[in-house]
A = this chain, B = another copy of it.
Amino acid sequence: MSLPHFFLREQVLAFESALVFALHLDADDTKHAKVLRLAVGEHIAVVDAVSDYFECEIVSFEGDELSVSIAQKLSSYARPEVVLVQGLAKGEKMDTIVRHATEVGIAEFVPMTTSRSVVKLDAKKSKARFERWASIAKSAAMQSGRSSKPVVHAPCSVAGAVDIAKDCDAVLICWEEAELSSTLAEAVSCCIAATGKDPRSLRIALVVGPEGGLTAQEVDLFLALPYAYSISLGPSILRTETAGIVAPALALYELEVRS
């Protein structure tokens, strides 16, 4: 079983000089620790503000103050970086996608407004959604025992998403109109050959359209990037929320199987 995981926003454990020190948990994490009824002597996993990863032993837990000592530094499990660029979908679908894709292991979540996205976000809604998704990503990372939580971006335009994808080693656009023979495996092979990198150190953007799909123009904007491929996820038409979970799982699987 994995240890309960906690992420620290600002505290860096390497700066703690005392053997026993208080963890600076967010209010909701303190609440979570109480729900778990964490007791003296129990161990937890802590990821600090610089992503160092520790196993800590609880020395005291009184009121809201949780004090621990470091039991050992853990090695975080390095995975390839998959950036999920997800077309804005309706209702609770985005929540579902960010939750499950975080469990699966995405490194970043980029919510993208497309021309066929039904949901329109004004500045206020956009901020509220962004905060909600960041909070879901954090709690899913805690629950799944990840040694990092994904970076959640503010909702952006297609042009904004293309800008983010520019910094990736490759861009894979999941498109139902792609040939069945355009597979993820092939695209990953091309990307490995083109970059010469170890698959485990690759950073790949995956683009998934909203309910109505991406337009050909939107696909073209991504395809104009170097190392961009439109791929098929198989003979079935996947709903957007299924594709947003399955595509990152397949990409991580393919990259790790080759490492």
Contact = CB atoms under 8 A, between A and B. Distances in A.
B237 A105 contact: no
How big is the A interface, by class?
20 to 34
A242 B99 CA distance: 9
A51 interface: no
Interface in A147-194: 176-177, 183-185
A253 B250 contact: yes
Contact of A146 (B145, B146, B176, B236): B236
B104 A238 contact: yes
B185 A237 contact: no
A239 B144 CA distance: 8
Nearest to A257: B185
A48 to B, nearest CB: 19
Interface string A213-236: 000000000000000000000111
Given A245-B242, A253-B250, A257-B183, A105 B234 contact: yes
A15 interface: no
Contacts of A241: 100
A176 B143 CA distance: 13
A257 to B, nearest CB: 5
A104 B185 contact: no
Interface string A240-259: 01100110011011101100
Contact of A144 (B185, B238, B253): B238
Contacts of A257: 183, 185
A79 to B, nearest CB: 7
A57 interface: no
A145 B237 contact: yes
A185 B252 CA distance: 13
B144 A237 contact: yes
Nearest to A76: B235
Contact of A246 (B2, B146, B236, B245): B245
Nearest to A105: B236
Nearest to A140: B239
17 contacts: A2-B176, A2-B237, A79-B235, A100-B241, A100-B245, A103-B238, A104-B238, A104-B246, A105-B236, A144-B236, A234-B256, A242-B245, A245-B245, A246-B246, A250-B250, A250-B253, A253-B253
The 7 closest A-B pairs by CB, nearest first: A144-B236, A246-B249, A77-B235, A100-B242, A144-B237, A145-B237, A103-B242
